Amino acid sequence: MIEPAEAALGNHNSHRGSYDKPVISQKFINMDILTIASQKGGAGKTTLSAHLAVEAERTGAGPGAVVDIDPQGSLADWWNQRAAETPLFAAVDVARLAEHMTALQRQGVNLVVIDTPPALLDTIRAAIAVADLVFIPARPSPHDLRAVGVVVEMAEDLRKPFCFVVNGATPRTTIALEAVQALAQHGPVAPVIVHQRIDFAASMIDGRTAGEVNPRSRSAAEIGDLWQYVRTQLRQYK
Ligand SMILES: Nc1ncnc2c1ncn2[C@@H]1O[C@H](COP(=O)(O)OP(=O)(O)OP(=O)(O)O)[C@@H](O)[C@H]1O
Ligand SMILES: [Mg+2]
């Protein structure tokens, strides 16, 4: 685990979770920051944070670090169950995210995946402010689709590129394709739909991912395709 970096710059707001002014991050030449955000709970932020970070590491985009700024701590719980040492876990103070990103870059990290909480808008905004790309999962439900607007507005406000993925689709239903069409009116949508499958949840119980449990699974293939798409999007904006 990487401990929180010491403050490298002057004053900072040490009140955890509070966020008054957006920090406009610098772009790091050798490090990508992927913030996974959705205002709606249960969209798949934590599941996709873990799966994308592990897939990125597997395909050579590491060293990677995961960051959990959700007080629920689900991604931290997953990482604590994990036997493998990669990706790294970076403990951070939300009020000093930009400093932590600089520290991670100095430590040789190439990819940071930030998992965010639902509904805590100041915290979500702080993570978007440091992002190179905001990745927005949405379940194919009217509630999820309606909720994406909040994060899209934040990303646009902070001039951050964003893209969507439909997660948790029931196989052989048309609602997921309808969701893709609805999201496409707001921005780019991943060409791969992540389906609802028990291995996405079950694999995380002992700190693994679906691809680590069964590299030949359909879930592993979807995450492989999804990471390739995210990687392309990240490159496009660098
Ligand atoms: N594609 C999927 N297939 C099966 N289960 C999934 C899938 N995506 C997410 N889940 C399950 O749905 C629940 C919510 O997913 P997850 O925790 O990733 O969402 P979240 O957006 O991080 O939620 P929160 O907003 O509460 O942080 C979890 O129990 C997770 O295991
Ligand atoms: Mg979560």
Q: What is the pLDDT of residue 171?
A: 86
Q: Which residues line ligand 1 (CB under 6 A)?
A: 38, 41-47, 70, 72, 74, 118, 167-168, 194, 196-197, 200-201
Residue numbers in the chain where pLDDT is lower than 50? 3-24
Q: What is the pLDDT of residue 146?
A: 92
Topology (CATH level 3) of domain 8-237:
Rossmann fold (3.40.50)
Q: What is the pLDDT of residue 151?
A: 97
CA quadruple 127, 128, 134, 138: dihedral positive or negative? positive
| DSSP state, residue 28 | P
Q: What is the pLDDT of residue 172?
A: 84
Q: What is the pLDDT of residue 122?
A: 97
Q: What is the pLDDT of residue 117?
A: 98
With 0-12 CB in 10 A as exposed, 13-18 as middle and 19+ as buried, what is 138?
buried
Name the 3-class secondary structure at 119: coil
Q: What is the pLDDT of residue 17?
A: 35
Inter-CA distances, 188 with 148, 184, 192, Å: 13, 6, 12
Atom number of ligand 1 nearest to Cα 117: 27
Q: What is the pLDDT of residue 238?
A: 67
Inter-CA distances, 229 with 36, 57, 119, 139, 140, Å: 14, 15, 27, 18, 20
